[in-house]
Structure 1
């Protein structure tokens, strides 16, 4: 029996502008680069030594635990990054890994081991990938049962089904593919200032296409708000615009109202406004960890280098659960299923998900 009940509890709105450290604008971070952390030669040597430890213990990458990847010298820097994620900016940026120095297995081992010191990996797609790839493999943009991350098209501001999404850059595109971040609180507060009724319209759930990743007992669409006010905190969730649009194909799904469409257009306009969006040119060896509940991310469309498959724009991605993460509103459970703080939560939880694995290379044509 499908879960079709939508709670009728009275909507609770933020009592006013949210403000706080997460409510930054692009100029704030352009003039103060405390959010960029850089790997020293000593840090890189420690990462390589931790790789050697994990290999000496005979561990496959997926079997490495945090204690199997010792980073005592990097502890302070990682703690500062987690503070940036949880309290300062809603994201952390680490720069300077010489990615072209390593074969794919070594680079993957470094990324996995470092990420374990940030959070706990969870499945990011129906293929059970704990670590996967963002690369154009030629997936048709109009395939409503696939995600858009394996295309070269623009990805409007959105959030993923995890506490933190991590990316590491291997290659950049010939043109485009620029990453951007935006503060959910800043956009919320500007909407509240300009059009409070439209801000409040996004506290009501939108109908979003699940793109074929359907948890047990659920519809192929979900109902989830952009903004929730929960325990005196703003919890954000930004669905991809394409997924809100493609949800209209389901005749049994509640329709997104005209007021909500107007509100969503204003929301995206503000997200894309240079006053609010921070554009960060990825460089090979850059790590980005984004707190999905308070910061949304996007990328521009891109063109890859012709006749050079080894130079294709390529990021590796990991989804992380934070045991000390935010308390989440019940609305998020429509996507996440489990939202309990202190547990491994989020990720793709569907009956036909494949066994957990790490993909060293992009998979075609089934990669998702």
Structure 2
């Protein structure tokens, strides 16, 4: 944790820039979701954020910003600061079918047994996985009473380890796999996505993996049944990711901003015990970001047909209020393009 390459500790001067940018937004009365990088000026910190973005894409794949003084901000103020920082790092994309761009990770009492539950809504353990955007941004407002340890593992290291231990399974990384969309698909679309795990483009390996969604997709009768070799591959990925040889545990405390490149690393979180008082319960803000200078990826990586919908960035979950393009073959002679 002493590395200066992936850990940035905010200086008093940088904290002052955050305060000044927050005041500027408030004085202008700007709604949070309308705030751009220009509206949230960070004269010197912006350059450091560019460096961190570069590190997440071309370096280790994860970076940590230490000690944003969240204890002195209201939740609304902390959200504005997080959003402003995110604008300097990339383009926020939707995290659910409701179109939420700024999410809240906290225990809602949901259970992972419910196929509609997403991991950030529960205090249950989250196995190693990736999310549906270039970068996941997390700002911890309040830490749990115990637990909630975060860990990361390099996708490239996992790939090389699978290649070394079970070369017969590597080809399966490039096959089509089926991910449960947890009921968040637009009307008329399939309730699951078809995606490869691994993709090479521009000399970079990108890996996508979420065993919970792979297994829950089996509830659909038209999804092919998992083969024994598929389960062996999943077991091997999980075993490697959990091992001390590959896993790095990251201290993630109140005021910490963690950025994870979903193509370069997998991440996990242990189960946690929360405080009884509502005002003390664990609360983490979430952003899904599309990098402005992100890597090339095939359209199949996102599990969406080309031209299915128009919105900024890439990745994310299609909001239900977005009008999807019709399949040209199904227009029945209509000349309408929508």
Do the structures match in fold with TM over 0.5? Answer: yes
Aligned to 1:334: 303
- 1:287 & 1:336 partners in 2: Cα distance? 33
Distance 2:4 2:305 in 1: 33
Query: In the superposition, relative to structure 1, how do residues 100 and 337 fare at CA in structure 2: closer, same or farther (>3 Å)?
Result: farther
Residue in structure 2 matched with residue 288 of structure 1 by the alignment: 258
1:125 corresponds to 2:66: no
Deviation at 1:225, TM superposition (A): 2.1
Q: Distance in 1 between matches of 2:13 and 2:201?
A: 42
**1:33/1:75 CA distance change after superposition, 3 Å:** closer
Report 1:153-232 matches (<5 A).
Answer: 153-215=124-186, 217-232=188-203
Deviation, structure 1 residue 217: 4.9
| Aligned residues of 2:105 and 2:285 also touching (Cα < 8 A) | yes
Paired residue secondary structure (1:68):
coil
Q: What is the aligned partner in structure 1 of residue 113 from structure 2?
A: 142
Number of the residue aligned with 1:65: 36
Select which of 276, 280, 294 maps to 1:311.
280
Name the CA distance, whole Å, in 2 between partners of 1:339 and 1:114. 29
Q: TM-score, normalised by structure 2?
A: 0.90
1:254 Cα deviation (Å)?
1.6
Equivalence for 2:68 = 97
Paired residue for 2:334?
Answer: none
Two-structure CA RMSD over aligned residues (Å): 2.1
Give the whole-Å Cα distance in 2 for the aligned partners of 1:278 and 1:350.
34
Q: Are 1:126 and 1:348, in contact at CA under 8 Å, matched by a contact in 2? A: yes
| Contact kept? 1:128, 1:353, Cα under 8 Å | no
Do 1:146 and 1:212's aligned partners in 2 also have CA atoms closer than 8 Å?
no
Whether the 8 Å contact between 1:207 and 1:222 is mirrored in structure 2 is: yes
Length, aligned pairs only = 322
Q: Distance in 1 between matches of 2:268 and 2:182?
A: 19
Cα deviation 1:88-137 (Å, max 9, x = unaligned)? 11122100111111111111111111110000111111222110100001
Equivalent runs, 1:292-303 vs 2, <5 Å: 292-303=262-273
What is the rounded CA distance, in whole Å, between the counterparts of 1:217 and 1:185 in structure 2? 36
Greater CA drift, 99-108 or 328-337: 328-337
Q: 1:47 to 1:338 in 2, by over 3 A?
A: farther
Deviations 1:250-285 (A, max 9, x none): 111122221111011101111111111111121110
CA distance in 2, matches of 1:102, 1:237: 35
Residue 43 of structure 1 aligns to a residue whose secondary structure is helix
How does 1:3-82 map onto structure 2 within 5 Å? 32-82=3-53
Superposition deviation, residue 329 in structure 1: 2.1
- Indicate the residue corresponding to 2:224 in structure 1: 254
SS in 2 for 1:319: strand
Deviation at 1:339, TM superposition (A): 11
Q: Is the 8 A contact 1:208 1:243 kept in 2?
A: yes
Please report how far the alpha carbon of residue 69 of structure 1 lies from its aligned counterpart in structure 2 after TM superposition. Answer: 0.5
